[in-house]
Amino acid sequence: MARPRRIVLLRHGESEGNADDTVYERVPDHALYLTEKGRRQAKEAGGQLRAMFGEEQVSAYVSPYRRTHQTFKALDLDPGRVRMREEPRLREQDWGNWQDAQDVRKQKVNRDAYGHFFYRLAQGESGADVYDRVGAFLESLYRSFEDPDHPRNVLLVTHGLTMRLFCMRWFHWSVAEFESLSNPGNGEFRTLLLEPGGKYRLDRPFERWCTPESYDATG
């Protein structure tokens, strides 16, 4: 099995929705563009990734959203060394179709109180749903490692919540641990590094906004 040296998780640059959430009333989530700031963030990340990958080959998987495709393009990676595939299972958590901004804000408040993993958006998904499709993607990714010529680097261009859920699935974090962590900023990435023993470690942690809750099993 040819395990890659690195698995890089990159959040897209700032999108129109990050800058102004009322845009969701006019534009579908998947069709949002990067802002100028978002393009700058992606270009900056590209410089860091090019230095990291050097002359090595890269297998890239990109969420099907416009902002993730634009982010990948702005990275300006060498097309001769990168194999890119669109991967729908790495998409953003589904919030529904044309959205009522006031309703979305209300649901965000409710989700914060209820928990991001279990709360199901009225016309969309729960974090648990995203976890399940990320798990299905991981099964496909593991199978790709069976190729002895698999690239030494994997790059996932995706979304903040999806990044946290990917790591939750990979490292077997508890729901409480997941709930205690914040999304990375736009254009930020985290890297899973292969250690000599065959296991991976996260290069740096996600920021923690609270102490994980400890359930009392004795009830």
Give me the sign of the Cα torsion angle 53, 55, 56, 62: positive
pLDDT of the residue at 212: 83
Provide the pLDDT for residue 154.
98
Structure tokens that stand for 108 in this block: 């965000």
pLDDT tens-digit readout, 106-138: 888 988 888 999 999 888 899 999 999 999 999
Active site annotation includes 195: no
Contact 9, 149 (CB under 8 A): no
Q: Bigger pLDDT: 89 or 95?
A: 89
Give pLDDT, residue 85: 98
138-185 pLDDT per residue, tens: 999 999 999 999 999 999 999 999 999 999 999 999 999 999 999 999
Domain CATH code at residue 99 = 3.40.50.1240
In a domain, 150, yes or no: yes
Q: What is the pLDDT of residue 105?
A: 81
Pairing of strands 189-194, 200-202: antiparallel
Give, in degrees to the nearest 5, the angle at Cα 30 between 24 and 33.
75
With H, G, I as helix, E, B as strand and everything else as coil, classify residue 119.
coil
Over range 58-73, report the average pLDDT: 98
Reported as a single tens digit per residue, the pLDDT across 22-61 is 888 889 999 999 999 999 999 999 999 999 999 999 999 9
Residue 101 confidence class, pLDDT cut points 50, 70, 90: confident
Residue 82 falls inside a structural domain: yes
Is the residue at 13 inside a domain?
A: yes
Q: Which residue has the tokens 């914060």?
A: 112
Provide the mean pLDDT of the chain: 93
Domain that holds residue 111: 6-202
Is 150 an annotated catalytic residue?
no
Measured between alpha carbons, how far is 80 from 209 in angstroms, rounded to an integer?
41
Indicate the length of the chain as a whole number.
Answer: 219
Residues forming beta bridges with residue 58, ordered by sequence position: 82, 153
Q: Could you say which of 12, 16, 87, 125 is catalytic?
A: 12
Within-domain flag for 119: yes
pLDDT at 136: 98
Residue 60 has a pLDDT of 98
How does residue 218 score in pLDDT terms, banded at 50, 70 and 90? Answer: low
On the question of pLDDT at 219 being above 60, the answer is: no
Structure tokens at 217: 């099993």
Confirm whether 1 is domain-assigned. Answer: no
Please give the tally of structural domains in the chain: 1
In a domain, 66, yes or no: yes
Q: Side chain identity at 76, as an amino acid letter?
A: D
Does 217 map to a domain? no
pLDDT at 122: 84
Q: How far is the C-alpha of 100 from the C-alpha of 97, rounded, in Å?
A: 9
**Catalytic residue, candidates 14, 16, 92, 125:** 92
